Amino acid sequence: MEVIEKPEEMQKRSLELRSQGKTIGFVPTMGYFHEGHLSLMRRAKRECDVVVVSIYVNPLQFGPREDFNRYPRDLQRDLKMAEEVGVDIVFVPKDEDMYPEGYQTFVEVTELTKVLEGFYRPNHFRGVTTVVAKLFNIVLPHKAYFGEKDFQQLRVVQRMVKDLNFPIEIVPCSTVREPDGLAMSSRNTYLSEDERKAAILLNQALRAADELFRSGERNVARLKAKVWEILATEPLVRPQYVEIVDAENLEPVFTIDKPAVILLAAFVGQARLIDEWVLVSE
Ligand code: PAF
């Protein structure tokens, strides 16, 4: 497995691979791998000739009071895990190479980012789209793999790719969950034992709403009330928002007559966790 630090070198390598007719699958990450990341890498491996994974904790997407400094990092562990999955190249850029002095160019998806995560984390998506656009230009992938757990991020990246004509297929991948339903996230490492137990409630609340939906309920206010009711049973869980929106354009819906998604964010102790659940009629 190759480890590349310099953007110019990564770009040169990708151009070489492309000129040999190889397809490049790309998994952008912030590292501290869990099964969710590995499943994206395995899928890329099945679908592409060469798999490139980036590991970069992007300072631009963290707010001033967020967890940039304590975000979990363990490069040696990540490299070992990537190698075991059969990743071909790991790109590990440095801040000074991604945002050198004088840096002043940003990519912004204006509308989709006003709501949900974008409302509670101003500038977060501007940081995400800027770094993802840069990574796309450096790695030059044919396909890029994104988890549905960060559902709004997925839609924002898809919009950016469309609007800016990136010749890249975005491949959405289902959320990978712990056996008890908790969505896998590097931020789960912040949870104490009690908080970890309490965090299961996020998934239980989503499942309860899904059950209600499957039994015929289409009224969004009632489905949302179900989620809030369940989250309220656990004092360690402090929900920030619970919304049900159109699964394509993230616009508000009141009655569900096409695919919709429940999106929520909640603090459990110090950890701010998000989760998603797509509601589709059978
Ligand atoms: O989802 C993430 O891990 C990050 O937002 C991403 C896409 C790697 C950009 O920094």
Question: Where residue 208 falls among pLDDT bands split at 50, 70, 90?
Answer: very high
Helix (H, G, I), strand (E, B) or coil at 114: coil
The answer, yes or no, to whether residue 74 has pLDDT greater than 80, is yes
pLDDT digits (tens, 9 = 90+) for 96-114: 999 999 999 999 999 999 9
Render pLDDT for 139-157 as a digit per residue (tens, 0 to 9).
999 999 999 999 999 999 9
Q: Which domain holds residue 242?
A: 186-277
- For residue 193, how far is its CA from the centre of ligand 1 (angstroms)? 27
Is 102 inside a domain boundary?
yes
Q: Do 70 and 164 have their domain in common?
A: yes
Q: What is the DSSP string of 122-150?
A: TTHHHHHHHHHHHHHHHH--SEEEEETTS
Atom 6 of ligand 1, residue of closest alpha carbon: 29
Q: Closest ligand 1 atom to the C-alpha of 28?
A: 8
Q: How many domains does the chain have?
A: 2
Looking at the domain assignment, is residue 164 inside a domain? yes
Task: Please say which residue of 147, 173, 199 terminates a domain.
Answer: 173
In a domain, 179, yes or no: no
Structure tokens of 48? Answer: 């592409």
CB 63, CB 121: distance < 8 Å: yes
Residues 40 and 113 in one domain: yes
List the residue whose alpha carbon is closest to atom 8 of ligand 1: 29
Report the pocket of ligand 1 as residue ranges, CB < 6 Å.
Answer: 28-30, 58, 61, 128, 131-132, 150, 153
Same domain flag for 201 and 149: no
Same-domain status, 37 and 157: yes
Question: What is the pLDDT confidence band of residue 83, given thresholds at 50, 70 and 90?
Answer: very high
Residue 151 CA to ligand 1 center (angstroms) comes to 12
Q: What is the mean pLDDT of residues 162-171?
A: 98
Amino acid at 45: K
Return the bridge partners of 89, or none.
2, 52
Same domain as 57, residue 168: yes
Ligand 1 centre distance from Cα of residue 192 (Å): 24
Q: What pLDDT score was predicted for residue 130? A: 99
* Same domain flag for 34 and 143: yes
Average pLDDT (26-53) is: 98
Share in percent of the chain as helix, strand, coil (round to 5): 40, 20, 35
The residues with which 267 forms a beta bridge, in sequence order, are 238, 272
282 lies in a domain?
A: no
Q: Name the residue of 150, 186, 276 to mutate for ligand 1: max ligand atoms within 8 A of Cβ.
A: 150
Q: Are residues 76 and 192 in the same domain?
A: no
Q: What is the 30 CA–ligand 1 centroid distance (Å)?
A: 6
Q: What percent of the chain has pLDDT over 90?
A: 99
Domain for residue 257, yes or no?
yes
CATH number of the structural domain spanning residue 209: 3.30.1300.10
- Which residue's structure tokens are 């924002």? 156
User: Of the candidates 33, 74, 77, which has an alpha carbon nearest to the alpha carbon of residue 53?
Assistant: 33
Joined together, the tokens standing for residue 208 give 């309860």
pLDDT, tens digit (0-9, with 9 covering 90-100), for 217-273: 999 999 999 999 999 999 999 999 999 999 999 999 999 999 999 999 999 999 999
pLDDT-derived band at 68 (thresholds 50, 70, 90) equals very high
Only one residue has tokens 């497995």, namely: 1
- One domain, residues 134 and 204: no
Position 55 scores a pLDDT of 98
Other beta carbons within 10 angstroms of residue 232's beta carbon come to 12
Are 181 and 208 a contacting pair, CB within 8 Å? no
**CA-to-CA distance for 146 and 76, rounded, in angstroms?**
23
Q: Which two tokens stand for residue 150?
A: 């960060």
Do 130 and 238 have their domain in common? no
Quick one: pLDDT at residue 282?
77
- Residue 203: pLDDT above 80? yes
Does residue 223 form part of some domain? yes
Q: How far is the CA of 154 from the centre of ligand 1 (A)?
A: 10
Ligand 1: nearest atom to the Cα of 61: 10
Ligand 1 atom nearest to CA at 57:
10
Ligand 1 atom nearest the C-alpha of 135 is: 9
Q: Which of 1, 28, 33, 5 is nearest to 140 (CA)?
A: 28
User: In this structure, what token pair is assigned to residue 140?
Assistant: 């030059």
Give the residue numbers marked as catalytic: 37
Is residue 96 a part of any domain in this protein?
Answer: yes
The pairing of beta strand 271-279 with beta strand 260-268: antiparallel
- Which DSSP state fits 184? P
Strands (E) across the chain are located at 2-4, 24-29, 50-55, 89-91, 143-147, 169-173, 237-246, 260-268, 271-279
pLDDT band at 41 (very low <50, low <70, confident <90, very high): very high
Per-residue burial over 173-201, b = 16 or more CB atoms within 10 Å of its CB, e = otherwise: bebbebeeebbbbbbbebbeeebbebbbb
Judgement on whether residues 209 and 168 belong to the same structural domain of the protein: no
Per-residue confidence (pLDDT) for residue 261, from 0 to 100: 98
The predicted pLDDT at position 281 comes to: 85
Contact call for residues 190 and 269 (beta carbons, < 8 A): yes
User: For residue 247, is it within any domain?
Assistant: yes
